[in-house]
Amino acid sequence: MPDSRPKPLLLASTSPHRRVLLERLGLPFLTRSPGVDEALQAGEAPAERSLRLAVEKARAVSAQAPGMQVIGSDQVASLETPGGVAILRKPGTRERCIGQLELLSGDTARFHTSVALASTDGRLLTHTDLTQVVFRELTREEIIDYVDREPSFDCAGGFKCEGLGVSLFESVATDDPTALVGLPLIGLCRLLREAGVRV
């Protein structure tokens, strides 16, 4: 008979990328959509936005699942422009993806990836990682070739670092290579241990 007992961990996300990352830890978990409004707030810095949304996701799902450790996460990609900081969203279409990569060509994108853990003892533990990606100078032909070979319309910035997207880079600076994919596992492991979960 299958074990129907509730799993101790709940990932407040329906992202397949985060699910695959969390599976690396070998811990049983469930997933649930957090149903959080992700609208931009005026004057909010990228790091603040990623942390706020990670916390809101963890709290929203934790309220529905007492007795479970709930993980919320969010990533905000940004680029410094002459007009200020531009937030890079999931492009959604081929045309917007090409446009974002043209904007990133020869420049540096910053990815703030936050994780929040609503623990069963009522604490809220958080961590934010900063990853900086330096893109090489890209021709329009190279960008179109990449987009056609690896459509990444559901990824912030319009590329997949775990795939062919690395061919677009000059360098990546980070303390946690999993953060760029969407869930900083090194920081999450630290939070889980602090909450009493063996990792």
Q: Which residue's entry shows tokens 């004057």?
A: 43
Q: Answer yes or no: are the C-beta atoms of 34 and 72 closer than 8 Å.
A: yes
Q: Which of 74, 107, 129, 175 is catalytic?
A: 74
74 is catalytic: yes
81, 83, 132, 135: which is closest to 104 by C-alpha? Answer: 135
How would you classify the pairing of strands 124-135 and 29-31? unpaired
Can you tell me the distance from the alpha carbon of 94 to that of 119, in angstroms, rounded to the nearest whole number? 40
Helices (H), the chain: 16-23, 46-62, 94-104, 140-149, 185-194
Helix axes 16-23, 185-194, angle to 10 degrees: 60
Q: Answer yes or no: are the C-beta atoms of 34 and 60 closer than 8 Å.
A: yes
Amino acid residing at 118: A
Question: How would you label 159-173 residue by residue, b for 16+ Cβ within 10 Å and e otherwise?
Answer: bbbbeebeebeeeee
Q: Active-site residues: which are they?
A: 74
